[in-house]
């Protein structure tokens, strides 16, 4: 784990996401510090893919802080509505981060499109070095969309997503139950494998 030691910037201002990434980093003796804690600006996500946005955010944080930086770009892709909201998952929630409205929009568009409730959460995880080098790793969690939303745990679209083979939504699971099933954990497994 030579490239993941000491201080590492988690290039996010989303506290739920920072908590998940910090938990994944826990066993490796890494000291995660969030971009928010360092007062780093959030770069505009101008890319059209998860990998592009993750790399953009990680590179910006690494250059601004002089530390290695880990960023993720993730979102929900609903197959029957053309993969939306996709890279625009956070934008569907608007400036006030109203995921209740975003989940309702997903359900309304899905209901108008037919019977396929299949979806996946996608995560691209980018590790950037202060010298500008970036590596990206992708993971996914497949499942189905349900309505109405269930559960108060998690964040974002978790209350309408049931992972494959299970009956509870991510929003109904404790942090410890949910974490190993997530798209983020699967991307992180690939990152760890690359460092061994």
Residues with active-site annotation: 73
For 124: left if phi > 0, alpha if psi spans -120 to 50, otherwise beta; the answer is: beta
Given a contact cutoff of 8 angstroms between Cβ atoms, the answer to whether 8 and 70 are in contact is yes
Number of C-beta neighbours around residue 42 at 10 A: 14
Place of tokens 């998860």: 50
Q: Return the structure tokens found at 192.
A: 């760890």
Helices H, strands E: what count in the chain? 5, 6
Do 181 and 134 form a contact (C-beta atoms < 8 A)?
A: no
Q: How far apart are CA 2 and CA 164, in angstroms?
A: 35
Count the alpha carbons within 13 Å of 103 in the hemisphere toward its beta carbon: 18
């Amino acid at each position: 784990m030579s490239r993941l030691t000491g201080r590492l910037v988690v290039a996010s201002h989303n506290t739920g996401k920072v908590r998940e990434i910090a938990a994944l980093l826990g066993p490796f003796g890494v000291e995660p510090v969030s971009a928010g804690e360092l007062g780093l600006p959030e770069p505009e996500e101008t890319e059209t893919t998860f990998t592009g946005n993750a790399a953009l955010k990680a590179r910006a944080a690494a250059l601004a802080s002089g530390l290695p930086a880990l960023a993720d770009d993730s979102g929900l892709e609903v197959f029957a509505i053309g993969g939306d909201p996709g890279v625009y998952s956070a934008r569907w929630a608007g400036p006030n981060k109203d995921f209740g409205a975003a989940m309702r929009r997903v359900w309304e568009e899905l209901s108008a499109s037919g019977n396929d409730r299949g979806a996946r959460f996608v995560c691209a995880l980018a590790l950037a070095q202060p010298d500008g080098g970036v590596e990206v790793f992708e993971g996914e969690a497949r499942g189905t969309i349900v309505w109405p939303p269930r559960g108060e745990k998690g964040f974002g679209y978790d209350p309408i997503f049931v992972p494959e083979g299970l009956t509870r939504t991510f929003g109904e699971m404790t942090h410890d139950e949910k974490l190993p099933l997530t798209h983020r954990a699967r991307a992180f497994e690939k990152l760890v494998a690359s460092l061994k």
